């Protein structure tokens, strides 16, 4: 398996280094023959090459078996014409990575505010309110006068159908419960279509229980009773916000793993941002990117028909559980290790075969 790693900005290089250490250990233990190729993106690339995403990088990623993208400082990147491209948008759009799969679950031994739960947010990734990706050319946020801004949201039947199908298929492999999160009481046409298409699509999955909740009420429901949810499908921005909440409710935003999926490509990417407030201080939790990488290995294993990749993914998830339970983790999840030492703890757990479930 050939993987491209783009470490990114802020805490990106620290959590990417820990993730690569775990990847190498996993490859050795499960004989996965993983080859890793690294390139700069974000500020480092802008400094060195005048652009946050070098020309040619898309083809390199296209020809690889998967991409691991660290968080990037998207807020800093204002003008694409000056090379300030949002790398996350760039790969999601150009590789048509329409489904953002964001699991959130609690861990034995880790205090959380709500009690145990295990759910997945399935977020549409290619349109909605994300002005930088929902137009063929240009941007859908416009300065009409210096005091007037118009931001357009795009919702298409095609994108609703494919995200609904991805969510239904995932729910059928889990506890067979799908919750549609929307705002069709106000966005009657756009979210109305999203809701209708999700309902129609889910009707093709016998045995799947389906309900729907307005996004504002969902914030209360998911804090009150997260264990009532299994798979949650939503449009781009609602899913983005909701999944930060579910990651934090599980114990820390630093546990938010995520996989961006298209028909032929996948990109592992932590749910959180570049965390400039803690960058360079060896305190960032690397589990989000490590768990994202495990999702990527499982995806590859399923496509390639290789049980070893799926076993490796499971072993990494169990090693993370084990590390949290035994306090070999960063402070945000109850441990006292730094970022690098937390990655090393996972390597040791994997090497010791000490990775049984809690």
CA distance 324 to 59: 38
Q: Of the candidates 124, 191, 310, 332, which one interacts with ligand NAD according to CB under 6 A?
A: 332
SS3 185: coil
- Which two tokens mark 218? 């969902």
3-state SS assignment for residue 177: strand
How many residues contact ligand NAD, by CB under 6 A? 22
Residue 335 to residue 328: CA distance in whole angstroms: 6
When the beta carbons of 47 and 188 are compared against ligand NAD, the nearer one is 47
DSSP symbols for 141-181: EEEEETTEEEE--B--HHHHHHHHHHHHHHHHHTTSEEEEE
Nearest approach in angstroms of CB 280 to ligand NAD is 12
End-to-end CA distance of the chain: give it in Å, rounded.
30
Partners of 151 in the beta sheet? Answer: 141
Q: Is 102 in the site for ligand NAD (CB under 6 A)?
A: no
Instruction: Draw the binding track, 10-39, toward ligand NAD (x: CB under 6 A; -: no contact).
Output: -x----------------------------
Stretch that binds ligand NAD, among 174-182, 196-204, 266-274, 294-302 (CB under 6 A): 266-274
Beta strands 66-69; 118-124: pairing state: unpaired
Quick one: which of 166, 275, 337, 347 contacts ligand NAD (CB under 6 A)?
Answer: 275
Query: Bridge partners of 260?
Result: 100, 267
Q: Scan residues 45-74 and list those touching ligand NAD (CB under 6 A).
A: 71-74
Query: Interaction with ligand NAD in 228-257: which residues (CB under 6 A)?
Result: 253-254
Residues 341 and 21: their CA atoms lie apart, in Å, by 11
Report if residue 95 touches ligand NAD, rule: CB under 6 A: no
Cβ 176 to ligand NAD shortest distance, Å:
30
Contact between 278 and ligand NAD by CB under 6 A: the answer reads yes
Residues that bind ligand NAD (CB under 6 A): 11, 71-76, 88, 253-254, 269, 272-278, 284-285, 288, 332
């Amino acid at each position: 398996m050939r993987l491209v790693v783009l470490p990114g900005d802020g805490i990106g290089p620290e959590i990417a280094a820990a993730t690569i250490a775990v990847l190498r250990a996993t490859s050795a233990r499960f004989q996965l023959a993983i080859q890793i190729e690294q390139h700069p993106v974000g500020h480092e690339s802008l400094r060195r090459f005048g652009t946050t995403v070098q020309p040619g990088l898309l083809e390199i990623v296209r020809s690889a078996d998967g991409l691991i993208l660290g968080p990037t400082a998207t807020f800093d990147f204002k003008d694409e014409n000056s090379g300030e491209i949002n790398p996350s948008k760039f790969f999601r759009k150009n590789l048509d990575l329409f489904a953002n799969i964001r699991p959130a679950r609690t861990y034995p031994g880790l205090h959380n505010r709500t009690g145990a739960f295990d759910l997945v947010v399935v977020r549409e990734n290619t349109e909605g309110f994300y002005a930088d990706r929902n137009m063929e050319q240009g941007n859908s946020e416009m300065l009409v006068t210096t005091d007037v801004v118009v931001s357009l949201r795009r919702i298409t039947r095609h994108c609703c159908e494919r995200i609904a199908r991805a969510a239904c298929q995932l729910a059928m492999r889990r506890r067979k419960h799908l919750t549609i999160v929307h705002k069709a009481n106000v966005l009657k046409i756009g979210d109305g279509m999203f809701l209708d298409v999700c309902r129609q699509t889910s009707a093709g999955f016998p045995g799947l229980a389906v309900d729907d909740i307005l996004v504002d009420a969902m914030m209360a429901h998911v804090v009150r009773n997260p264990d009532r949810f299994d798979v949650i499908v939503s449009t781009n921005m609602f899913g983005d916000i909701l999944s930060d909440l579910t990651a934090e409710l599980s114990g820390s935003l630093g546990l938010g793993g995520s996989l961006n999926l298209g028909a032929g490509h996948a990109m592992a990417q932590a749910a959180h941002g570049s965390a400039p407030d803690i960058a360079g201080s060896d305190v960032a939790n690397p589990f989000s990117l490590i768990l994202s990488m495990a999702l990527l290995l499982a995806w590859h294993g399923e496509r390639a028909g290789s049980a070893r990749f799926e076993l490796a993914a499971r072993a990494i998830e169990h090693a993370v559980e084990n590390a949290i339970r035994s306090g070999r983790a960063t402070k945000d999840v109850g441990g006292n290790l730094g970022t690098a030492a937390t990655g090393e703890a996972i390597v040791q757990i994997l090497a010791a075969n000490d990775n049984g479930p809690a």
